[in-house]
Structure 1
């Protein structure tokens, strides 16, 4: 590796987050005043932005449209210190978007339009399969943060592909609705899974009541390691030889979207900096708590 090589590859969704936040409780059908923001988002991009803020050099492998929204998004990524050298610009696809409504009780509703990422498919992986980052004969050996917004078929290919065989895979499902897409990694015995309790229940098809149960079951079903969060309740990081648990700091939640991505990125950064598993988990939970309690008035 050279001084210019990325510290980690972030593979998955790079899009615009359109987030509406209301200061009052909401139920379906409500029409209330609030604030709407448009910011760079997507699981892979959220992870990359947090990693960059912690001093790492992440590179993005994803797709944006060759349109005004894509150009603006790529420019903002570069300004945030992210490597867009390997980002795919598609003439035939628009830039993806995510829309969510949040209230004090949490997420009211969300729609993820990641159809361009799904349509681009294996195109976004070319730099790793037959390119400057690696090949089948010389696989990439570093860290990869991978999100479940890719299609189930492509995720299954990655789980078995020789170009990924030596990478340190850190995998997130993107949302509960896409959690079962990660079953290929359980079958292949690959990667560290970062999931919340609901996602773990869906992946294992079991009704767990706490993170420790869920993490143990994920490892039993094939995960090399599982890190399971449960909101403000105890979080668990487990593998075959060690289990670590910790309770997050108690905070007032003001935003939800991106919290899990912040947790995952902070955990990866802490381990890369040499911290042991208990300290890495503490730092990740502190980072997520700071994020969800942050000022979103602007």
Structure 2
């Protein structure tokens, strides 16, 4: 029976989550399940019955005409070129972000290394230069990530695009595993230079090398992890989600169904009201030392309301 349900869900993947579509989906599922049970009563095996039911029902277009359904396929879908452009842009952003984070570690390595050499002024100068460039790279590429996400936000992800993203992710899996393993190994082995130089009573010379190991290891871990996860944007959801905490109208409707409006209002007005209550109560009573409990209780209540407002 689960096979039939999954098949029906697949048939309707490219259609909006409206009441008409839901009614049609339920009607088709009921017809298929009744036919499946009838075939079992005739003596068919479970696999034979499932195969016959699926083969006899044909395509979604034929079913739509037969049932008199007038819904349209989802518009404004993301095409393959847009997905590839997004992946390329995010890959470049991942490289810049990873280099920025690694650069911060490298800056510390430069400071300690040149400091050991007795050129403290040069060490400080290079430290701040490398650190400034690294932080700039982190900020810039972080902003680019947000910009790239917003371009596709709340747009429909066709089934073919979903499958292509799965194929690309599977193809990248080996590279991700290699970068992850090497990165973790470098981080673990980062103490080895200190131990090596310690044998010659110069342990402090191993410190800058340690930071070099850490910088390379962290780069591989972050770069590989980001590149591996960006495919999920086209795999896990029906609509592209730029920010999990701020869903677009289509994604909100898909995720929460009839409860989407209530969920939207909760996200928009709940915390502003809580802040006003907190500030108002604190100013009126002057109990600043204990009024923070309002925020704690509000957080717990928010979690409860989120659990209550589920997809209908």
Query: How does the TM-score come out when normalised to structure 1?
Result: 0.22
Q: Name which one, 1 or 2, has greater alpha-carbon Rg.
A: 2
Select the structure that is richer in helix: 2
